[in-house]
Chains A and B, each alone.
Chain A
Amino acid sequence: MKPVVDETPTPMVKAESVCKSFGALEVLKGITLEIGRGEVLVLVGPSGSGKSTFLRCINHLEQVNAGRLYVDGDLIGYRDRGSKLHEMSPRDAAKQRRDIGMVFQHFNLFPHRTALENIIEAPIHVKRVKKNDAVARGKDLLNQVGLSEKAEAYPAQLSGGQQQRVAIARALAMNPKLMLFDEPTSALDPELVGEVLEVMKKLASEGMTMVVVTHEMGFAREVANKLVFMDGGVVVESGPPREVLASPKHERTKAFLSKVL
């Protein structure tokens, strides 16, 4: 666990009774939680519990139906004009997403671009960074994830673990204030999981605020400040990972943990 957590008044993420339905299917039934700056929060729960949906709500890949979701004090997805909320324009939504990095289960690297091109794509075209600066930063990031010699390789030529590390570097290239990880190691061969978790650990130790959906309980115990167990679209239990993992209070948590530990 990280020793220092900066306690500033506005939390990095603040969810107030967040609800999300797809048609008649209610996936999130009121999620309330806070994530402080520099904190690492791990979301666990059975599949279909809504943890990925909640993660996707944070960067507005899904639109929240009820409740409020704030990132760094900004309301996500809507403009608050006093009496009524207004749907946000795509341009404004894109602007909000620039500061929120996301890493996907299936990496979603751009297959037609090399590792380095993947990383410099958004800084150059979204943030209008000069190409030379973006390349220098991109090489630096590749170095940080231990792939400096793979700059010119296409994603199809990389192993799963290498692809996911490039994907993390790609998200970091936008200098995000918050990183979202959606089951980053679930699609990997067991021997490749470690190298990705190692990069994530380093990132956490450098003070990045992270929300991680994962089944890696070891990572949760070692790195996370807070563990949230979700089931059926609600938060069942949350607390320091060691406590929740060692002595879960709810039956559902116990049942779930007995299967994954």
Chain B
Amino acid sequence: MTDVDTSPPTHPAAIDAVPLRHPWRWVASVVIVVLVALFVYGAATNEAYRWHIFAEYFFNDRIFMGVSNTLQLTVYSMVIAIVFGVILAVMRLSPNPVFRSVSWVYLWIFRGTPIYVQLTFWGLIPTIYKNIQLGVPFGPSFFHLDLQALSIPFLLATLGLALNEAAYMAEIIRAGISSVPEGQLEASTALGMSWGMAMRRTVLPQAMRVIIPPTGNEVISMLKTTSLVTAVPYTLDLYSIATREIAAREFEPVPLLLVAAAWYLVVTSVLMVGQFYLERYYSRGVSRKLTTKQLEALAKAQQIGEAGHV
């Protein structure tokens, strides 16, 4: 005989245990707070930082313009890079050998050369290709555009950043696509979807969960890479305005570097918030954990069930 109690279950009282203590966390926190306080005090009293100049230029109109230009460069080039990256990644994985090779060569060139060199090259395009003609090769032309007459450093900077970034995005997206189990493509195919539709409707949405965290990295990295557009040369981004224009005029490099750094931090923080919500959206269905809404519905059903028994 075994001692198994088959009488109806009684309801024991909920456990009220003493929580585990963590004294060393408190000690570590105190040490860190003291160190930070010392650093802040030192920075506040050090003349070299010139905090009044920092304050004066933090809300300066030229700086605002620089922030706005940097943001536009980041957003436009990332959007182009993501669209182009998806195309390149899908080409790389497609059954079509022509697409695969084109994509491979693109990645080879754009990942294999430094971004600074590429940006300088984009800046030289109006010199190399003085005008654009559209027409029959070796025949008559219908359309003519004089590149040297245009002032297009912003456009060239955006394109330069975007085409370089697209190569990296392509690899991130490819990794995401490869992370989706093969059975997903198979199930979609068996339902009569074409390869393209299966990619768009089944594989890419699932790949997003893997794609978004490194893409968030890339956006933040792009925000800072925009400071290289001086190679084009484009001079109206945050870094150029703060250091080349204002700091050179005022002979105050330190506070203006801090102004630029602080603004980069502000924008990065905003981007991180956006990333948090995107990640949450694309992680739906991943966890067995029920959402708050589902839990409420279940609890309600349970209450109704119990009420019915009594």
Contact = CB atoms under 8 A, between A and B. Distances in A.
Given A90-B194, A174-B191, A112 B183 contact: no
A94 B186 contact: no
Contacts of A219: none
A91 B194 contact: yes
Chain A interface size, under 10 / 10 to 19 / 20 to 34 / 35 or more: 20 to 34
A163 B156 CA distance: 52
Interface residues of B, number: 25
A238 interface: no
Interface in B239-294: 282, 284-288, 290, 294
A121 B191 contact: yes
A112 B285 contact: yes
Interface string A129-159: 0000000000000000000000011111100
Interface stretch (B195-203, B212-220, B221-229): B195-203
A152 B296 CA distance: 14
Contacts of A125: 193, 197, 201
B192 A110 contact: no
A122 interface: yes
A126 B197 contact: yes
B294 A122 contact: no
A106 B183 contact: yes
B184 A110 contact: yes
A68 interface: no
B53 interface: no
B48 interface: no
A122 B192 contact: yes
Contacts of A171: 190-191
A104 B187 contact: yes
Contact of B290 (A98, A108, A110, A157): A157
Contacts of A153: 294
Nearest to B187: A108
B212 to A, nearest CB: 13
A140 B289 CA distance: 27
B206 interface: yes
B195 A108 contact: no
9 contacts: A59-B190, A94-B194, A109-B187, A110-B202, A111-B206, A111-B285, A122-B191, A156-B288, A174-B191
Interface of B: 181, 183-184, 186-187, 189-195, 197, 201-202, 205-206, 282, 284-288, 290, 294
Given A98-B192, A111-B286, A121-B201, 9 more contacts: A59-B190, A104-B186, A106-B183, A108-B186, A112-B205, A113-B285, A122-B191, A153-B294, A154-B285
